[in-house]
Amino acid sequence: MYSLVETFDSIQGEGLYNGSLCFFLRLGGCDIGCGWCDEKKSWDESKHPKSSINEIIDLVIKSPSDIVVVTGGEPLMHNLDELTIELKKHKRVHLETSGAYNLTGDWDWITLSPKKRKLPLPEIYKKTNELKCIIYNDSDFEFAINESKKVSKNCLLYLQPEWSKKDYMVEKIINFIKLNPRYKLSIQKHKYLGLQ
116 near ligand SF4, judged by CB under 6 A: no
Q: Give dist(CA 72, CA 28) in Å, integer.
A: 6
- Which one of 13, 73, 99, 161 is in contact with ligand SF4 (CB under 6 A)? 73
105 near ligand SF4, judged by CB under 6 A: no
φ and ψ at residue 24, rounded to 5 degrees: -95, 135
In the complex, the smallest distance separating the C-beta of residue 117 from ligand SF4, rounded to whole angstroms, is 8
In the complex, the smallest distance separating the C-beta of residue 120 from ligand SF4, rounded to whole angstroms, is 11
In the complex, the smallest distance separating the C-beta of residue 171 from ligand SF4, rounded to whole angstroms, is 23
Q: Give dist(CA 132, CA 114) in Å, integer.
A: 7
Q: Point out which span in 68-76, 77-85, 119-127, 160-168 binds ligand SF4 (CB under 6 A).
A: 68-76
Pattern of binders to ligand SF4 over 134-173, x per CB under 6 A?
A: ----------------------------------------
Name the E strands within the chain: 2-11, 21-27, 50-51, 67-71, 92-97, 109-112, 130-135, 156-161, 183-185
- Which one of 8, 33, 79, 164 is in contact with ligand SF4 (CB under 6 A)? 33
Q: Which amino acid is at 181?
A: P
DSSP 15: S
Q: Give dist(CA 113, CA 120) in Å, integer.
A: 9
Residue ranges binding ligand SF4 (CB under 6 A): 30, 32-34, 37, 39, 42, 72-74, 98, 115
